[in-house]
Structure 1
């Protein structure tokens, strides 16, 4: 029994036409934040999460447009997370520790959200899709 031609679904076409090398670099821009946070977690509380995206953006911004966009997005998101975390540290310090009642649950929420959104962004970038993080300050234009 043969399948009629109208019921055959053609494979999805790649409409974004982002080269594989750019997709890989863009994915690494997002994932480098995880590495930066891991490396700096024992000394700086994970504040170096923006260093990897910054380095990739500075190196590839002129030669790869997709990487320029995604590394800038990763950089802005990780700067936003670092600022939010720093604000909670200051809140805790100026309230002599009472602010920890708010800060500790917020750190957990921010940390889990940061991890999930970073992985989602890396997967989307690897697929050639321009990902936009929610709740991000656009500091680098």
Structure 2
């Protein structure tokens, strides 16, 4: 009898390849630490290149993209609020919150569970 090379996923649970790309979509938001606008470019590239391979990748790619857009808009608002000093505090809240939520989303995606970010403006449907 021939052994399958890839583990077979249970019905309703995404396969290992789909889970891996969903995880990468969420973690690619950290590219913003390395290159300007990387937090937007990373999830966009993963989503656009892999969305046709699996419904789970498409869903989580859109979710990661929407979250990064929301974080970028919140960061822009914080920069504007730095004129009245409160922005310096709020930018740290946004950064720490984004890091924690991206890690949680990546863990959930790796488990094969669809994750929905709280406080996220879902522009891409």
Could you say which residue in structure 2 is the equivalent of 1:107? 91
Deviation of 1:16 after TM superposition, in Å, equals 3.4
Q: Which runs of 5+ in 1 are unaligned?
A: 1-13
Could you say which residue in structure 1 is the equivalent of 2:118? 134
Could you say which residue in structure 2 is the equivalent of 1:37? 32
Larger gyration radius, structure 1 or structure 2: 1
Q: 1:24 aligns with which of 20, 32, 56?
A: 20
The 5 A counterparts of 1:76-91 are 76-91=66-81
Aligned pairs, how many? 116
Q: Which stretches of structure 1, 4 residues or longer, exceed 4 Å deviation after superposition?
A: none
1:57 equivalenced with 2:63 (yes/no) = no
Q: Which runs of 5+ in 2 are unaligned?
A: 1-9
Deviation of 1:109 after TM superposition, in Å, equals 0.7
Could you say which residue in structure 2 is the equivalent of 1:122? 106
Aligned 8 A contact 2:80 2:87 in 1: no
Deviation digits for residues 32-71 of structure 1 (CA, Å, limit 9, x no counterpart): 111x11112xxx4xx4312111001111112211000001
